[in-house]
Amino acid sequence: MLGPINRNPDEKTLRQFGWIMLGGCGVLGFLLGWLRLPAEGRWTWSSPGLQGAILLLWTAGAATFVASRASLEWTRTLYVGWMRATRPVGVAVFTVGLTLMFLTVLPVFSLIIRLSDPLRRTLRSSGSYWEDVKPYDPTPRRMARPF
């Protein structure tokens, strides 16, 4: 289903992981606070628990970014741990996504194809599905655009 976890990532992957964690945790922290805005639209801290969650996300992102620049061994440990921890989420999202696709997209697509009859196989009064073809005109202009 999903590929194996890379237990020995290269330096480029670890540095990218630092950038991704910095951006991802920053955006998640911002969205967590923004979605909890009061009706007036002002940015306020609505609860100490929310404050802690936002600060934890921002700190985790910044710490991972700093670790990716300071020590690749620490970042490797964080990377492998993060991949192991989020693996079940990936498997669940993959399974749910494929299930939704098979239950929604494919039946609608197949219904459209069946109703449109792209092969023009409608039952005819004649005994054959043969269609007459226009004669081929082998002129240079026709050869430039064969279809």
- Taking the C-alpha atoms of residue 137 and residue 39, their distance in angstroms, rounded to an integer, is 72
- Supply 49's token pair: 């628990």
- pTM over 0.85? The answer is no
pLDDT of residue 26: 94
Average pLDDT over residues 122-135: 75
**DSSP helix/strand/coil, 58:** helix
Tell me the pLDDT tens digit for each residue of 83-126. 999 999 999 999 999 999 999 999 999 999 888 877 777 766 77
